[in-house]
A = this chain, B = another copy of it.
Amino acid sequence: MALVVVGSVAYDGVETPHGKVDRMLGGAATYISLAASHFTPVKLVAVVGDDFAPEDAGLLAARGIGLAGLERVAGGKCFFWSGVYSADMNERTTLRTDLNVFADFHPKLPDSYRAEPYLFLGNIQPALQKSVRAQMTAVRLAGGDTMNYWIADFRAELLETLREWDFLLINDAEARLLSGESNLRRAAAKILEMGPHTLIVKRGEYGAVLFRKAGGTIGHFMAPGYLLESVFDPTGAGDCFAGGFMGCLAGRGARLSAEDLDFADLRRAVIYGSVMGSFCCERFGVDRFRTLTREDIEARYREFQACTAF
């Protein structure tokens, strides 16, 4: 039973106060898949060009990530993004966005993917997310991410899409934009009427809050962010959170749509999300995932427990 991950595989140029890398593997689906692969088998759906390096495909394959759904466009080039972070790394400025082959991405699932129970839809056009959901025949748990651009300019399409999701995972600014409410609890209450019964709001370095509607009431769980001693590069941290969260649920065989899902499973998944996001920031790009082990992950999970229990 695998998790299907749909989204971007890209090359990034990143500059932080700790250094500069002109071109390295990136893209939301890359980060989500790498993080989730520590918990569950993953099957990737994305598009790349001729310039996608064999060693990058090798990194994904080495983590057992299925690449049957990785479309290769002959004569095309990979999505490229570059940006520079502020001194405290809380803001970033985009320098360049070349959509390249990503501009015409129309995800088509291989037959071998369609019967899988778990689906994470990375941040792409809502109508495309909906089309992917429709290609799956036995979904047990589906959800994903979106962004301010789709919320503001493709609202009707997005609301159509959300109606079929079990969970939505966005940041606090997006939650406020989507709901029109500045208070997070009231924002969550509105969003949980749009379809998803579970909402995870990422708050960057401050952690995340999970809201869940069950039996007519909304419960929530708050997780602080891990306090890193050095943040080298925050690129991909939110996607790694998503991968850890969804990977953890898929790995446990969770069925989020059931009213009786153990809230404890969701809490653990949020903490594993925070854990994976924290590792991501320790090196540039996906570098931390070249050496990360399940033992590292479990040790940090225990550290989270030790730093938050009272």
Interface stretch (choices A32-40, A58-66, A109-117, A218-226): A218-226
Kindly state whether residue A24 has any CB partner on chain B within 8 Å: no
The yes or no answer to A183 lying at the interface (CB within 8 A) is yes
Which residues of A from 196 to 254 have beta carbons under 8 Å from B? 203, 206-207, 209, 220-225, 227-231
Shortest C-beta distance, A267 to chain B (Å), equals 4
Chain B hits for A270, CB < 8 A = 310
How far does the alpha carbon of A307 sit from the alpha carbon of B208 in the complex, in Å?
12
Q: Does A305 contact B (CB under 8 A)?
A: yes
Asked if B228 contacts A310 (CB within 8 A), the reply is no
Q: Contacts A222-B307, A307-B221, A307-B222: A185 and B228 contacting too (C-beta < 8 A)?
A: yes
A310 neighbours in B (Cβ, 8 Å): 221, 223, 264, 267-268, 270-271, 305, 308
Indicate whether A74 reaches chain B with its CB closer than 8 angstroms: no
Residue with the highest number of chain B CB atoms closer than 10 Å, among A87, A185, A271: A185
Residues of chain B contacted by A87 (CB below 8 angstroms):
182
Give the residues in chain B near A264, CB-CB below 8 Å.
310
- Select which of B182, B183, B209, B227 is within 8 A of A222 by beta carbon: B227
CB-CB contacts below 8 Å: A263-282 with B: 264, 267-268, 270-271
> In the bound complex, how far is the Cα of B38 from the Cα of A54, in angstroms?
65
Residues of B near A206 (CB, < 8 A) are 203, 206-207, 224
Subset of 9 A-B contacts with CB under 8 Å? A87-B182, A183-B229, A183-B230, A183-B231, A185-B228, A220-B227, A222-B308, A268-B310, A305-B310
4 A-B pairs closest in CB distance: A267-B310, A222-B224, A206-B206, A185-B229
